[in-house]
Amino acid sequence: MQVDLSQAITLLQRGEVVAIPTETVYGLAADANNDQALSKVYALKKRPANNPLIVHIADISQVLDWAETFSPLAQKLAVAFWPGPFTLVLPAKPHVSNILRANQPTVALRVPNHASTLNILQQSGLALAAPSANTHTQVSPTTAAHVTASLGGHVAVFDGGACKVGIESTIVSVADDNWYILRLGMISEARIEAIAKQPACKGHQSLPVAPGQQKLHYSPNTPIQLFASQLVLQAYAGKQEDCAALIIGQGDIANTQTFCLPNNPDQAAERLYSTLHQIDALHKKELLVEVPPKAADWSAIRDRLERAAHKNT
Ligand code: TXA
Ligand code: MG
């Protein structure tokens, strides 16, 4: 069910759930201070209660409404990357809903970089909890049509066009003057390190986790097999029937319906999920995927494809 901006705001203020665009993927939004509204989000998504939600705020001045502390390191990162595809996990204030944060001691915050989303945040006066607007473990939506296909026509959707970034935000936890990457997005580790002026903390025993980052995630219905090169993929495809192929750059795999992602990580990210949705609709026996280059700027896309393929490995 399509709604306009003012209907979206009214519904959200009444404690209803509305799918809204952001620059990364569509989010299933609800008033972050309303436990009943938050419960609707979990129910609609079939999301396990132990997987916390990101709170979207209108600007950096609202951080201390939610976080107990906003350290100089966290402030530097927020100033550099907000509004944008970047989420900060900080110690939560005691009043922050346990449904929202799934009993974690922390809260995840993001200022999105999307004019309509910022309008909704500012005009409603709300902070909005919003996970990706898809059923649990499915591919995230980057258009209003994807939301309706995944969650059903009864869910209110504000259509703000196709998402420009195309994959979910980078999530960074800041604790004790250290920073940890919980999920990689299109803001790369190198860019964060350049602002933090210290490397990410890794492999530490007390490494914080994003409970939602289990391996089986972002999965299309079509089983996926990954291939290190187009040549190996081509050889395998030659012996198969009824497969689709997803390759990087130009090309055509013989006897196989071939989809191409641009040979540029930003453009490939923008197109990745809509291409996966398109391929899923064909109900092929298998999707053969060329793994993107090992270079750092492809890391987030490699991560999503590896997770998408996981149930198959
Ligand atoms: O780009 C995005 O981040 C999109 C748009 C809608 O903003 N949202 C999104 O939400 O991807 P979701 O719920 O699909 O993924 C949020 C991730 C989950 O893996 C969750 O476990 C983690 O963030 N998370 C949320 N709160 C956390 C917390 N307090 N500590 C650690 N991880 C947290
Ligand atoms: Mg998600």
Ligand 1 contacts CB of residue 134 (under 6 A): no
CA distances to 149, 231, 263 from 254, in Å: 31, 11, 20
Write down the pTM of the prediction.
Answer: 0.95
Q: Within 10 A of 287 (CB to CB), how many other CB atoms are there?
A: 26
Tokens of 217: 């995630």
Centroid of ligand 2 to alpha carbon of 232 (angstroms): 31
Q: What is the pLDDT of residues 203-257, one digit of tens each?
A: 655 666 777 666 656 678 899 999 999 999 999 999 999 999 999 999 999 989 9
DSSP labels, 77-127: HHHHH-SSSEEEEEEBPTTS-HHHHTT-SEEEEE----HHHHHHHHHH---
The bound ligand whose nearest atom lies closest to the alpha carbon of 170 is: 1
**Dist CA 176 CA 156 (whole Å):** 41
**Dist CA 234 CA 256 (whole Å):** 9
Is the distance from CB of 308 to CB of 219 less than 8 angstroms?
yes
Radius of gyration of the chain (CA): 19
Ligand 1 contacts CB of residue 299 (under 6 A): no
Is the distance from CB of 24 to CB of 85 less than 8 angstroms?
yes
Ligand 1 contacts CB of residue 268 (under 6 A): no
Q: What is the pLDDT of residues 132-185, one digit of tens each?
A: 999 988 899 999 999 999 999 999 999 999 999 999 999 999 998 999 999 999
Q: What is the pLDDT of residues 80-96, one digit of tens each?
A: 999 999 999 999 999 99
Tokens of 161: 């066009």
